[in-house]
């Protein structure tokens, strides 16, 4: 057996032949993440539905839903890491895409209520009857169809992302300025959605959902199905993000992050790359929101709150920016910690979160993943 030691013909092997080939090659964290999702998809339904509720192995439906929500936050964190970790665009407005996806799903769920609302109107949601509206606004049309709503879950955040990105990146808005206008975007949307005339339920938002695809939304089996859908969405989105960052496009995007003028000078239209990645990220965030809403049973304008978007940045920083799976981990873990802590620290949570952010920035700039890797390396 001969060992090839020639310097030529070896280094280029590092560049993947094609992005979709051996997508998880060398990605331990990704393998763990996908393995975990596969395990959850199998185990959680069994432990909830098949194991009797008095058994210690039983997982309550409440816990299933809670975990499903963590997965949605993990997906939001993943989408944010794609733009922040890989393209260097710090978005302080990703909550807007999440909320828009949530509203698209909420509109479908509202129309599923049919005549079972308080006012019994077969078409109009309760809040419209209450406002004295005679007919459905045009932008509510089509949302009685699941496929249409599912399309809008991606299309609405995607369109906003595209328009925002096109305006901002073509005008070469970067750095702090971009962060600020992304924050302004979500704030403006919050104010708009608070208004009753907008037709999205004002400050109450959309709630009192009954069914999804004809199944009762509170039934344990539906909850489990939503959980499984969230796990699948996270796994699939991870693979998509991974394929992107492993492709040449991914390498161009990180080049933009590290040296944008240089990337331009070798002939890449960096603004187009940024718009593209930003739009994909917005759609993934929208998907997260759409899965979140049926699990919490409500969507209201507070989801647009600038604070939510900032929290998502902290998740990514804590988990490990620029690693994808670290971000997902951060999204799930920080929210889990919040659930544990809010029981006795409710008012203090934001301080804890802020402190966490400062600590991570100062002491573990590479987040939990960096910490684990260092452990492994030493």
Partner 1 sequence: MQWLDDTRAFMRRDQVFDIVRPVASSGRVDTRHGPILYLEDVTVSFDGFRALDALTLYIDDGELRCIIGPNGAGKSTMMDVITGRTRPDNGGAWFGQRLDLLRMDETEIAQAGIGRKFQKPTVFPRHRVVENLELAMAGPRGVWSALTARLDRSTRERIDEVLEEIGLADQGRALAGQLSHGQKQWLEIGMLLMQNPRVLLVDEPVAGMTHQEMDRTAELLTRLAGRHSVVVVEHDMEFVRSIARKVTVLHQGSVLAEGSMEEVQSDPRVIEVYLGE
- Do 65 and 219 meet the contact criterion of CB atoms below 8 Å apart? no
Q: Cβ of residue 11: shortest distance to partner 1, in angstroms?
A: 2
Which of 4, 7, 343, 362 is the binder for partner 1 (CB under 8 A)? 7
CA dist list (Å): 268 to 91, 193, 272, 315: 23, 38, 9, 32
Q: Is 276 in the site for partner 1 (CB under 8 A)?
A: yes
Q: Is 252 in the site for partner 1 (CB under 8 A)?
A: yes
Binding mask 14-43 for partner 1 (x = CB under 8 A): xxxxxx------------------------
Nearer to partner 1 (CB atom), residue 206 or residue 244: 244
Nearer to partner 1 (CB atom), residue 16 or residue 286: 16
Which of 2, 55, 265, 378 is the binder for partner 1 (CB under 8 A)? 265
Which of 75, 235, 244, 317 is the binder for partner 1 (CB under 8 A)? 244
Which of 262, 339, 340, 346 is the binder for partner 1 (CB under 8 A)? 262
- Euclidean distance between CA atoms 371 and 361, whole angstroms: 13
Residue from 341, 336, 282, 358 nearest 104 by CA: 282
- Which span (111-119, 165-173, 198-206, 300-308) binds partner 1, by CB under 8 A? 165-173
Which of 134, 135, 258, 376 is the binder for partner 1 (CB under 8 A)? 258
- Do 105 and 153 meet the contact criterion of CB atoms below 8 Å apart? yes
Q: Cβ of residue 171: shortest distance to partner 1, in angstroms?
A: 4
Nearer to partner 1 (CB atom), residue 110 or residue 275: 275
Sign of CA pseudo-dihedral 268, 270, 273, 277: positive
- Which span (168-176, 203-211, 287-295, 329-337) binds partner 1, by CB under 8 A? 168-176
Nearer to partner 1 (CB atom), residue 120 or residue 365: 365
Residues in contact with partner 1, counted by CB under 8 A, come to a total of 38
Which of 48, 179, 182, 263 is the binder for partner 1 (CB under 8 A)? 263
Q: Is 249 in the site for partner 1 (CB under 8 A)?
A: yes
Which of 170, 192, 215, 221 is the binder for partner 1 (CB under 8 A)? 170
Instruction: For 5-37, give one letter per residue: b (16+ CB within 10 A) or e.
Output: eeeeeeeeeeebeebeeebeeebebbeebbebb
Which of 56, 132, 214, 267 is the binder for partner 1 (CB under 8 A)? 267
Nearer to partner 1 (CB atom), residue 25 or residue 248: 248
Q: Cβ of residue 258: shortest distance to partner 1, in angstroms?
A: 5
Q: Cβ of residue 271: shortest distance to partner 1, in angstroms?
A: 9
Residues contributing to the site for partner 1 (CB under 8 A): 7-12, 14-19, 167, 170-172, 244, 247-249, 251-252, 254-255, 258-259, 261-269, 272-273, 276
């Amino acid at each position: 057996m001969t060992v090839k030691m020639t310097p030529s013909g070896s280094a280029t092997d590092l560049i993947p032949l094609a992005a979709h080939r051996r997508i998880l090659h060398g990605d331990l964290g990704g393998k763990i993440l996908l393995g975990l999702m596969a395990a959850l998809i199998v185990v959680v339904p069994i432990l909830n539905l098949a194991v009797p509720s008095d058994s210690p192995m039983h997982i309550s439906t409440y816990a299933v839903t809670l975990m499903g929500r963590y997965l949605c936050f993990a997906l939001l964190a993943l989408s944010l890491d794609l733009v922040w970790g890989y393209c260097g665009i710090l978005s302080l407005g990703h909550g807007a895409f999440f909320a828009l996806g949530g509203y698209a799903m909420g509109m479908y769920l509202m129309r599923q209520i049919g005549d079972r609302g308080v006012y019994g109107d077969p078409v109009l949601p309760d809040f419209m009857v209450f406002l004295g509206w005679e007919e459905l606004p045009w932008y509510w049309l089509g949302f009685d169809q699941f496929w249409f709503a599912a399309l809008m879950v991606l299309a609405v955040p995607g369109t906003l992302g595209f328009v925002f990105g096109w305006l901002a990146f073509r005008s070469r808005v970067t750095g702090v300025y971009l962060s600020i206008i992304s924050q302004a975007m979500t704030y403006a949307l919050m104010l708009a959605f608070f208004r009753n005339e907008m037709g999205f339920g004002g400050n109450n938002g959309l709630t009192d959902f009954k069914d999804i695809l004809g199944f009762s939304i509170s039934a344990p089996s539906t909850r489990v199905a939503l959980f499984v859908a969230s796990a699948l969405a996270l796994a699939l989105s991870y693979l998509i993000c991974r394929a992107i960052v492993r492709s040449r496009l991914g390498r161009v995007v990180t080049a933009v992050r590290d040296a944008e003028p240089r990337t331009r000078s070798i002939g890449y239209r960096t603004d187009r790359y940024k718009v593209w990645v930003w739009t994909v990220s917005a759609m993934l965030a929208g998907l997260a929101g759409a899965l979140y809403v049926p699990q919490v049973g409500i969507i209201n304008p507070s989801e647009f709150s600038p604070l939510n978007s900032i929290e998502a940045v902290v998740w990514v920083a804590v988990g490990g920016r620029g690693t994808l799976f670290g971000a997902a981990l951060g999204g799930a873990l920080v929210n889990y910690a919040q659930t544990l802590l809010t029981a006795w620290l409710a008012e203090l949570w934001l301080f804890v979160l802020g402190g966490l952010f400062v600590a991570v920035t100062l002491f573990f700039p590479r987040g939990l993943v960096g910490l684990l890797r260092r452990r492994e390396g030493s």
